[in-house]
Structure 1
């Protein structure tokens, strides 16, 4: 099953398509945008002293790709029916990775509004779940594949040293609004942007909360350009994604002058046009934090 780029949705509709896959008896999902193709398992070459979640490497169309055992990464038992297992070949965060799962069933088209934020009561501090979808009487967990990868290779995450290489920074009085659903990334962004001189930052867990904050300012009669100088948004977020947030800002006469930078693992040559269509002023791929800082410097009102 190869991902046909033609099925990608119109930008800014607040919808996504997920590939449903199984680990044990549980159902999980991955955004179709991350999926290059789905193949039957091929022989894996074991790499000495690799991370326990990494099965090894395979060669696919001339490229050497790592294979991650999703069951091990989320603390589940091995497959009971290995003959049904699948490899999901993905591309995000500027890298290609193969995820070994136990089954793949179908593609669902859903709204981000259908995705609930997981409760701390059952999710736990180290959970890789970023959303829960109730569909056809089943619970589908949307997995945080970026977190799984960073746990295996911390160097693939946001790195403070990259900002420090920009040299000594002056303290900025610019006010930023950031929409990012991952608590880990919110903390990393807070620390790295402070290092870059940006101390006035309002963080929100999704696009809906960020937009309500901006809209409330407008309703109070605030001069938005004095209150906020820039918006930074992820793409994948429960309730409202970053493309829809950008579109709503740019279509609102009181907010349209606000610069919006999309900072996401989904910024690729194939997908950059989606951000352009909704009016993003700039787009940068995670984890390129130093490039994000340069764009903030450039675009903040």
Structure 2
């Protein structure tokens, strides 16, 4: 068996995604988001979380998925990417699982309409569940990170 990692499971539509727990700072309910002009469409703005200004990205918009209304289940997952905190808006985040790394397979070119470069792999859980593992450093590419860093100032 490979090593075991803890993964936070979240949903966008009917698909389940995973982010390693050690990359996640906190999971928050929806907070008031301050819009920022001249940013990418999927950048919703910034939030003030306990005195820290954090840029917030709608992952549905980032992945080109249809946007939906936010609900009571909507969450902002605060992750650390390249020494920077970023919030990802997801439909729901409701599970932490242990995952053996040998269950993670190389992703196909496109999974659920999302290009493989955003993915670390696809993990099989049980007989009928697939978990799409995000590659956080690709979800935010360097140019976008530079733009987001300027939001934090």
**Fold match (TM-score > 0.5):** yes
User: 2:85 maps to what in 1?
Assistant: 96
User: 2:102 maps to what in 1?
Assistant: 113
2:143 is the alignment partner of 1:145: no
Aligned partners of 1:125 and 1:88: how far apart in 2? 19
Aligned partners of 1:52 and 1:81: how far apart in 2? 17
2:120 is the alignment partner of 1:130: yes
Once the two structures are superposed, what CA deviation does each residue of 1:74-133 show, in whole Å capped at 9, x if it has no partner? Answer: 11112355221001011131111111100012101111101001123x458943122101
Aligned partners of 1:45 and 1:23: how far apart in 2? 23
Name the structure with the higher helix share.
1
Asked if structure 1 preserves the Cα contact closer than 8 Å seen for 2:81 and 2:136, the reply is no
Residues 44 and 19 (structure 1), Cα distance of their counterparts in 2 relative to 1, 3 Å cut: same
Name the structure with the higher strand share.
2
Asked if structure 2 preserves the Cα contact closer than 8 Å seen for 1:85 and 1:101, the reply is yes
RMSD: 2.1
Asked if structure 2 preserves the Cα contact closer than 8 Å seen for 1:21 and 1:102, the reply is yes
Once the two structures are superposed, what CA deviation does each residue of 1:182-227 show, in whole Å capped at 9, x if it has no partner? Answer: xxxxxxxxxxxxxxxxxxxxxxxxxxxxxxxxxxxxxxxxxxxxxx
- TM norm structure 2: 0.84
What's the CA shift for 1:155?
A: 4.1
2:40 is the alignment partner of 1:47: no
For these two proteins, the number of residue pairs brought into alignment is 143
What's the CA shift for 1:53?
A: 1.4
Looking at CA atoms only, which structure, 1 or 2, has the larger radius of gyration?
1
- Flag structure 2 segments of 5+ consecutive residues without an equivalent: 148-153
2:30 is the alignment partner of 1:27: no
Runs of 4+ in 1 over 6 A off after TM superposition: none
